[in-house]
Chain A
């Protein structure tokens, strides 16, 4: 991560990453926005900025965003003697906008990438619903981090649970549409297996990795996010995938090859072909799945010393 925002949305602590993905732009933005029309003189906008201590004013037509006038635009207009001209003559038109249901991590990467002080926020109908500044992000993050820390301190006082003798447990979190991180859990599961059980057949290793990857991608593509748990015992490896919903309305269909509810965007990334769950069931020695609105819970079991596999 570049200097500036000291919170790394990729390698930061998992509690913080959870926050960055669970908090949405709409939770942090200011919904009380001062706007102006394209015909308002730049001078009026300058006054609006001064009176409200703000540094940018969205220019709207109804609820549609058509431009943005920033402090820089005002200064330029003053220099060129255009301060009496209408907003549309001095506004920026090529706007970078955020959507209200994007995770907060998006807003942070945008701040880093574009170096604007603020971003207009639009909803699904492309209407202007708010504005988000780095200050908004900092304030809300501090509040949430405080809350998390309190919880952690609380937990610290509780006695730590002992891990089972001889077995290994690992857990990874997945986040909705986070394709950059997706696949890390299965890559690590493969690594752990190679390290701890170098004697297991390559085909079995591959079956375990494929199941992990399919379940992980399923969470990223279809759920609100969740976690992947890996348990390695003496004679079996178990992958558990639990997400936070919205659940699979028709499990029977979801287990049918080719049936998919993924959108075009997901498909353009090479996924959502409707093979995930059927493929997981195919490669696992045992596979169970249950789903309701609160989430989907899947479990794939692999027996490590079944004979006959190369």
Chain B
């Protein structure tokens, strides 16, 4: 899934685009508000879906090698988070939909692209 498609599907807004976002092909999402849990996931190159907006979201994404962060529930990032994802070269998006609906829409789109979850 491209970032353009993701943006259309859930009406997401970009706050930062990483240097390779146009070439990005999303094949996996990890959704959690517990960064501790995200740190135990062995997947790579995923988009982190969360409603947390602390700095630690960007740090965690960097540590586990996530490509992008998607904030749900209408959460808006603070300037600090935007600066930090800039430093770490991670894309940051937000959308108004709640976590479950976001995951449902994105999961369905991934299956349509032939990616099993």
Contacts and interface: CB of A to CB of B under 8 A. Distances in A.
A133 B115 CA distance: 61
B63 A270 contact: no
Given A190-B62, A190-B63, A183 B56 contact: yes
B44 interface: yes
A219 B89 CA distance: 27
- Chain B interface size, as a band, is 20 to 34
A275 B64 CA distance: 15
- Chain A interface size, as a band, is 20 to 34
A273 B52 CA distance: 15
Contacts of A186: 59, 63
Contacts of B88: 187
Nearest to B35: A270
Given A179-B54, A182-B56, A270 B62 contact: no
A212 B35 CA distance: 14
A79 interface: no
B59 A273 contact: no
Contacts of A275: 36-37, 39-40
Contact of B37 (A180, A206, A213, A273): A273
B62 A269 contact: no
Interface in A270-288: 270-276, 279, 282
A214 interface: yes
A279 B63 contact: no
A214 B56 CA distance: 12
B33 interface: yes
Contact of A206 (B56, B57, B64): B64
A271 B44 CA distance: 21
B16 to A, nearest CB: 17
Most B-side CB within 10 Å, residue of A183, A186, A217, A282: A183
A180 B56 CA distance: 8
Interface string B60-93: 1011110000000000000010000000100000
Given A210-B64, A269-B52, 4 more contacts: A179-B55, A187-B88, A270-B60, A275-B40
Interface of B: 33-37, 39-40, 44, 50, 52, 54-57, 59-60, 62-65, 80, 88
5 interchain residue pairs of minimum CB distance: A183-B59, A273-B36, A270-B35, A275-B36, A209-B63
